[in-house]
């Protein structure tokens, strides 16, 4: 079980889902804070719901408020960066680039990518945390 957890964890790094910021979080985990990483990740997913909803709403309103979209995405990207969500972060950057040039279709398309990566990572991390817990 432990090996499975370790394998899954390494895969997440190898496949580019996570970057070194995740390692930083792991470094902050110890006996006094044994679930720190999982707590931060949970917090991220809880908190990002409202940001995603906010972007969705703002994308629906016309004319599109690119400045607002950029601001919300900036927050979302910040949080993603803080947990080491590498692919999510990359899609966020792409989204912001579309915002900067006022490309509506690009934004809409890219936002789907953001959500997909966001959800994919969530599944993988949930699985990993479950294995890690069972391994203890």
- Specify the residue, 2 or 39, whose C-beta has the smaller distance to other proteins: 39
By the rule CB under 8 A, 88 interacts with other proteins? no
Is residue 62 near other proteins by the rule CB under 8 A? Answer: no
| Listed residue (37, 16, 18) closest to 28, CA to CA | 37
Residues in contact with other proteins, counted by CB under 8 A, come to a total of 22
To which H or E segment does residue 1 belong?
none
| Residues 44 and 60 sit within 8 Å (Cβ to Cβ) | no
CA gap 93, 90 in Å, rounded? 5
Which one of 17, 38, 44, 92 is in contact with other proteins (CB under 8 A)? 44
Dihedral over alpha carbons 87, 125, 26, 40 (to 10 degrees): 90
Residue 101 CA from chain centroid, whole number: 24
90 binds other proteins (CB under 8 A): no
100 lies in the binding site for other proteins (CB under 8 A): no
| Site residues (vs other proteins, CB under 8 A) | 21, 24-25, 27-28, 32-33, 36, 39-40, 43-44, 47, 71, 74-75, 77-79, 81-83
């Amino acid at each position: 079980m432990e090996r499975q957890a370790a394998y899954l964890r390494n895969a997440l790094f190898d496949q580019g889902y996570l970057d070194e910021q995740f390692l930083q979080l792991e470094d902050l985990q110890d006996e006094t804070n044994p679930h720190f990483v999982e707590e931060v990740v949970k917090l991220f997913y809880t908190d990002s719901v409202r940001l995603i909803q906010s972007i969705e709403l703002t994308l629906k309103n016309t004319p599109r408020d690119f400045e607002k979209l950029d601001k919300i995405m900036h927050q979302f990207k910040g949080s993603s960066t803080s947990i080491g969500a590498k692919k999510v972060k990359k899609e966020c950057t792409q989204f912001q680039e579309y915002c900067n040039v006022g490309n509506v279709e690009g934004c809409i398309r890219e936002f789907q990518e953001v959500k997909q990566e966001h959800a994919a990572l969530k599944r993988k991390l949930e699985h990993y945390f479950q294995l890690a817990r069972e391994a203890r």
